[in-house]
Amino acid sequence: MSMIPPRLQQILDGLEDENCEFKEWKTKDDFDGLTKYTCALANEGGGKMVIGVSDKRPRRIVGTRIWPQMEVTRKSLNRRIHLNTQWEEIITPGGRVLVITVPRHAYGLPAAWDGRAWMRENDSLVPLTEARRKEIWEEVGKDFSAEICPGLSIGDLKPEAIEAFRGAWVNTLRARREEAMQRDAERVERLQHEQLLRDTELLNPDGTLVNAALILFGTRQAVRRHLAQAELIYEFRNTPASGPADLRLEFQEGFFSWYDLLWQNLNEPSRNPRQTFQTGLFVRQLPSFAERPVREAILNAVCHRDYLLGNSVFLRHTPTTLIVESPGGLLPQVTVETLLDRQATRNRRLAEIFQRCGMVERSGQGMNLIYEDAITSAKQLPTPDAAPYQFKLSLHGVVQDPSFLAYLERVGQEKMRLYDTAHLLVLDAVRRDTSIPDTLKPLVDRLVSDGLLERVSRGRGSRIILSRTFSHAIGESAAYTRRKGLDQEESKLLLHKHLVHKGERGALLDELGEVLPSKTKRQVQHLLRLLAEDGKATPPRRGRGGLWKSTSSELQPPPKD
């Protein structure tokens, strides 16, 4: 009889095609190869990659020892390809097998790594063909940013803006240690502006420029002449009250001409105040608005807005809130509820440029990073609001719970990196003492087993609280006790004291339930049975009215009036 789990046997019996890839890789730690194969699977509709199995039929399990820290490797891969792969480790008599499930690519955007999208051709990996790329792009309709901008010439683009993009692209390539990336960086540094635009598909072979070139590099005169709505307006007010802004800036040039200047103005200490909190002997300062989530919100607005609408992007800023308003509602396959799970972009050519220079975190959508920053800063979650022709995102700057920051520091940054946005949302719900969404409840067990959360009681009356680590981090053991409630021995003691007080009269179960209002009826019955096993209580007898009595007479009932 086979000792191989049926689900694995079914995979082994299948064919190796565009939806399944088998690799032996006993000790071969080819993370770059894994990245390319998962990109190819995603671009072909998703599938599975099975490691530790011979790739020729009849397949046999050979086992693999690579990537023992499976969760760390999974998160690294997900960050590379901007998709949520799922990993399963199966231990068999023949050795360890890794089964990696790869989802399909994001709507309208091929899965890519370092600006390269892949597909499989027979037994080889090849760059994604233009035909297949076009099929993916057409999933969300036309790409305005890739359409020709009539009358736009290279003379209408700011050389300084193109150089800013080149510098960001080179820095991203150099951040990778591979020799091939270093060669690419040297090549990009030597390119003339015209060739740089051709390589990024902003300049077509026939010499025409696309709208993305104008949006990214255009001079003020060119933007106002060809696409006046491609501007960003920043307004700062010291109070939320309406009225003239204390500062108003209008950015009417290409994105790479103003994005650093915008952050410098927004980050002025009077506009972005630092909040001080203490952890033990150390005092830390936290900005109301951190740079990365703010930049992601701005990039989302520039990348996902509808340029066919005549409105501008607005940033409305106060010392406690930052509201980003961009023209155009969400695409049909995305809702406010699924912002963190589904990805789609309205302007793919812009998204690809931002990916090349390392500015976006996930396929042009950094909403996960924005939420993660809010949670780990103990701030209110971002507030998205979608209308048919506008999307608004509100970021909140006030630290609500400094003690939670101490808790996260106690957990440690290395450990926190093992958790994704969904896990952090669970922690945030527990911190705020709100119900955990049903879709996130399966994640609770892992956080409990890792010691970040604790489960109080069981059954219908069970609760989830931050672990004892939280109370130690903030120096409030009493606060922990209040969160946890009475433990079993204290609950038994209260019941016993009440029974002793009642004496021979005894007490009904309903009355005893009032002694422990946080417990369910079944939980109170369980505690009473434990008292009976300890010889401290007598259970009710039939015909006696269901009365529980104490076996002790330490306390007598009060005299009758």
pLDDT, tens only, 5-31:
887 888 887 765 558 888 999 888 889
* Model confidence at 35: pLDDT above 50: yes
Pick from 430, 441, 531, 521: nearest CA to 484: 430
Q: Rounded to whole angstroms, how far apart are CA atoms 416 and 450? A: 11
Q: How confident is the model at residue 362 (pLDDT cuts 50, 70, 90)?
A: very low
What CATH number belongs to 6-137?
3.30.950.30
Lowest mean pLDDT segment, chosen from 209-213, 249-253, 355-359: 355-359
Strand 537-538 to 453-456 pairing: unpaired
* Model confidence at 555: pLDDT above 50: no
Q: For position 2, what pLDDT does the model report?
A: 57
Q: For position 557, what pLDDT does the model report?
A: 47
Q: Which residue has the higher pLDDT, 517 or 479?
A: 517
Q: What percent of the chain has pLDDT over 90?
A: 40
Q: Encode burial over 517-553: b for 16+ CB neighbours within 10 A, e otherwise.
A: eebbeebbbbbbebbeeeebbbebeeeeeebbbbeee
The architecture (CATH level 2) of 402-484 comes to Orthogonal Bundle (1.10)
Lowest mean pLDDT segment, chosen from 29-33, 104-108, 266-270, 360-364: 360-364
Q: For position 477, what pLDDT does the model report?
A: 52
Lowest mean pLDDT segment, chosen from 152-166, 419-433, 486-500: 486-500
Average pLDDT score over the chain: 85
Q: Rounded to whole angstroms, how far apart are CA atoms 290 and 377? A: 9
Asked if the domains at 402-484 and 488-550 fall in one CATH topology, the answer is: yes
Q: How confident is the model at residue 458 (pLDDT cuts 50, 70, 90)?
A: low
The domain limits of the chain are 6-137, 402-484, 488-550
Please state which of the four CATH numbers 3.30.70.1060, 1.10.10.10, 2.60.40.10, 2.60.40.1220 is assigned to the domain occupying 488-550. 1.10.10.10
Please tell me the total number of residues recorded for the chain in this structure: 561
Say which residue the tokens 């599975």 belong to.
48
Nearest 10 degrees: Cα torsion 407, 412, 415, 421: 50
* Model confidence at 364: pLDDT above 50: no
Q: For position 39, what pLDDT does the model report?
A: 93
Tokens for 355? Answer: 């990916």
Q: How confident is the model at residue 235 (pLDDT cuts 50, 70, 90)?
A: very high
Q: Rounded to whole angstroms, how far apart are CA atoms 419 and 431? A: 16
Name the H helices within 419-559.
421-431, 444-449, 468-474, 477-484, 488-502, 509-515, 521-533
* Model confidence at 57: pLDDT above 80: no
Q: Which residues pair with 399 in a beta bridge?
A: 379
Lowest mean pLDDT segment, chosen from 312-316, 401-405, 442-446: 401-405
pLDDT 10s digits, 69-100: 998 999 899 888 878 888 999 998 889 999 99
Under 8 Å between Cβ of 53 and 24: yes
Residues in contact with 8: Cβ distance below 8 Å, sequence separation at least 6, in sequence order: 90, 92, 97, 99
Q: Which residue has the higher pLDDT, 333 or 514?
A: 514
* Model confidence at 391: pLDDT above 90: yes
Q: For position 189, what pLDDT does the model report?
A: 95
